[in-house]
Structure 1
Amino acid sequence: MRLTHPNGSTVHLAYCTNVHAAEDFAGMLSQLDRFAVPVRDLLGVDVLGLGLWLAAPVAAALAADPVLRSRLYREMTVRGLETVTLNGFPYQAFHAPVVKHDVYHPDWTDRRRLDYTLDLARVLTDLLPAGIIRGSISTLPFAWREPWHPSRLSAAHSMLKELATGLGECDRDIRVAMEPEPGCVVENTDQAIAALAGADTDRIGVCVDLAHLACAWESPRDAVAKLTAAGIPVVKTQVSAALEVTDPKVSHDTLAQYAEPRFLHQTRSRGGAAFDDLPEALESTAPGPWRIHFHAPLHQKPLPPLQTSTAVLEDGLAALVGVCDHFEVETYTWNVLPPAARPVDDASLAAGIAAELAYARDQLAALGVS
């Protein structure tokens, strides 16, 4: 959706299609009809924004074939869909039975990651609607933290230099956004600033994922102020909410229903305890409060007595409006929610996504963006 900031600039709001499992071109087109068009209809908008996720083989095929790119643009346009942002964090197989640490491979020391990201940039160049100023691509924050050493950091920095060069060769302004995430080499704002020291900030910046920021127990206003002072642009914002629990002992059995086998759910306590996955946290005696990297639906409450970090989300939007113009709702966990909260069919998933976008739109409207 295209919204308007009080200063007259355009603000884009989209939902991320990494919630859908399609990893070939035909499957991607099918998901437009199964989900994106019904979401658009439920919201009553003429054009719906998508944050497309393209698995690496699809991205490579599109990057190599301008006719295929033109077809995708037409297929989206006739359905009232558009994209200004791509999610380039998962490389492929994001809906395998077990993803866990695989989502961090290949990392930014591996040329496949560079090639994939440049493929996405070539694709986005042709998908951007006319008159749009720029496009964005979010990516992983270098790598999972282990193993990591200076030689790998040097390799990653070399890849970023090649990335900036490649982005400069695009016909449109495409920027890449590193997304800090718990457990990674870059987990918080200070680490992001250090990681991007010397980077080409005209083309490379940060993606602020508000669930990740909550898990780092960071203040959104402080994070944005630090990035601004360091001259690092917030290229993209992921409008997301983490699970939150005050007393893990009391909530143990309920939390256990969110400990599912596909994704990592890094858990952080306000007191500094850190766990790479929720089952590990549940075996601990670390006191609360905890925040858990489980992207919860924005508009609905989780199983009681759990909460979500929507207070951080709302503070984050207030800090980021006017700083960032690409906002993406990224709840990829709909199909791994506890059964009682999980969509039962395509229609209920579309309804849930539409409700999330309506929630995000309302939050932005309260800040004068409508």
Structure 2
Amino acid sequence: MIPAYCTNVHPAEDLAGVVAQLDRYAVPVREALGADTLALGLWLAEPVARGLAADGAARRRLAADLRARGLEVSTLNAFPYGGFHHEVVKHSVYEPTWTDPRRTAYTLACATVLADLLPDSAAYGSISTLPLAWREPWDGDDDARAQEALDTVARALREDAARHGRPIRLAVEPEPGCVLDTVADAVAWLADRVDHDHVGICLDTCHLAVSFADPVDAVEGIRATGLSVVKVQASAALEVAEPGAEEGRRAVAGFVEPRYLHQVRENTPAGVLAADDLPEALTDLPAEHPWRVHFHVPLHDRPAAPLTSTTDVLLTAVEAVRSTSDAMPHVEVETYTWTVLPGAGDDLAAGIAAELRWASENLGGAS
């Protein structure tokens, strides 16, 4: 089965633009794959989600627009609130945080929209979200406010499930540099704080790889607490085995770009060293041991040597999830960096189709 692809690669931040992007990209991707139906991980900027949540007729029209194009939506990406294609995004993608009522309102709006978009075949809907906030400033009072906000969302999702007959579940996505930096951090924070039936983990395999965590141990750690993987974001990080060598340094420096934050981790015998962005890593890290970089690279198109990507982590993680779950969670290919890749081509639809073809062939029936 072909996984979903995440539409946060497209910049539309109004409803007309969202539908136009479906025509420009999603439909050609579906046709290139020869598929009757293509799943999307839909991204709706906050004004779009808010407007749709307030207008049932507009939601029904969007659902009809999707069906008419052979597209379906079982999952939303509600991590970016808006402005995800501004010239500089960097830390602003983590705002508003889970201490801000705007984050709660946005997430609830997304849940209202998703309930009316779910295809008949979907057992549940999922919404991925940020790991509370960037790591600083953050304190115990912030923990309490975030927990209260997540409780509010869980209560609303519980009521929606009773009304609609199918649950929508929130998937918290650990990311390097955030309050919930690693999967282990997310599990430790969430395990005793949230309703496990309605809040779980979004396992982004690029983020997992950057942390240098063992993917099997990470998945087992989620299961052991009673939490679940609600959604897998199938993604790969950039890796360089010898960042201190001239060739390796030059190659990885070619991925410096101004829009997104590209956290770097260096795996030393004494522990994992951290830099918050690639330029900082090139200046501050010792570069004596392998680096992994938070730069989502296309799954099918590995970077040129001496760089590699972490598709091995993706494959291992998906198999671990499959072996510990009664049914596979939603799988969404999330390569939002196509437009900032060095030497990026113009045919985005062809690139997305090639990536989804790889995912379909290599992820063993992921849904």
TM-score (norm 1): 0.93
One-letter amino acid of the counterpart of residue 224, structure 2: A
Residue of structure 2 in register with 1:167 after alignment: 157
Distance, in Å, in 1 between the alignment partners of 2:281 and 2:366 is 39
Residue of structure 2 in register with 1:9 after alignment: none
Segments of structure 1 that go 5 or more residues without pairing to the other structure are 4-11
1:226-268: CA deviation from partner (whole Å, max 9, x where unpaired): 1111000100000000000011122111111111000000000
Residue of structure 2 in register with 1:178 after alignment: 172
Counterparts of 1:346-361 in structure 2 under 5 Å? 348-361=347-360
Deviation at residue 369 of structure 1 after TM alignment: 5.6
1:283-325: CA deviation from partner (whole Å, max 9, x where unpaired): 1323220000000000012133110011111111111225232
- Does residue 270 of structure 1 match 2:267? yes
Deviation at residue 41 of structure 1 after TM alignment: 0.5
Distance, in Å, in 1 between the alignment partners of 2:32 and 2:155 is 41
Q: Secondary structure at the match of 2:242?
A: coil
Q: Secondary structure at the match of 2:303?
A: coil
Residue of structure 2 in register with 1:85 after alignment: 75
Point out 4+ residue stretches in structure 1 off by more than 3 angstroms: none
- Does residue 292 of structure 1 match 2:293? yes
- The farther-off stretch of 31-40 and 309-318 is 309-318
Q: Secondary structure at the match of 1:327?
A: strand
Deviation at residue 177 of structure 1 after TM alignment: 0.3
Residue of structure 1 in register with 2:202 after alignment: 207
Deviation at residue 273 of structure 1 after TM alignment: 1.1
Q: Secondary structure at the match of 1:169?
A: helix
Q: Secondary structure at the match of 2:297?
A: coil
Q: Secondary structure at the match of 1:249?
A: coil
Distance, in Å, in 2 between the alignment partners of 1:113 and 1:309 is 31
One-letter amino acid of the counterpart of residue 215, structure 2: P
Residue of structure 2 in register with 1:111 after alignment: 101
Q: Secondary structure at the match of 2:336?
A: coil
- The farther-off stretch of 299-308 and 82-91 is 299-308
One-letter amino acid of the counterpart of residue 258, structure 2: P
Distance, in Å, in 2 between the alignment partners of 1:190 and 1:220 is 11
Contact 1:273 1:286 in 2 (8 A): no
Distance, in Å, in 1 between the alignment partners of 2:66 and 2:289 is 45
Tell me which of 38, 44, 47 is aligned to 2:37: 47
Residue of structure 2 in register with 1:283 after alignment: 283
One-letter amino acid of the counterpart of residue 306, structure 1: L
Residue of structure 1 in register with 2:53 after alignment: 63
TM-score (norm 2): 0.94
Count, aligned residues:
353
| Aligned alpha-carbon RMSD (Å) | 1.2
Residue of structure 1 in register with 2:215 after alignment: 220
Q: Secondary structure at the match of 1:98?
A: coil
Distance, in Å, in 2 between the alignment partners of 1:354 and 1:86 is 20
1:48-107: CA deviation from partner (whole Å, max 9, x where unpaired): 000000000000000000000000000010000001000000000000000000000001
Change in Cα spacing, 1:130 to 1:178, as seen in structure 2 (3 Å) is same
Counterparts of 1:3-152 in structure 2 under 5 Å? 3=1, 13-152=3-142
Residue of structure 2 in register with 1:330 after alignment: 334
Residue of structure 1 in register with 2:251 after alignment: 254
Residue of structure 2 in register with 1:194 after alignment: 188
Residue of structure 1 in register with 2:321 after alignment: 320
Distance, in Å, in 2 between the alignment partners of 1:199 and 1:25 is 32
Counterparts of 1:357-368 in structure 2 under 5 Å? 357-365=356-364
Residue of structure 2 in register with 1:311 after alignment: 312
One-letter amino acid of the counterpart of residue 326, structure 1: H
State the identity %.
54
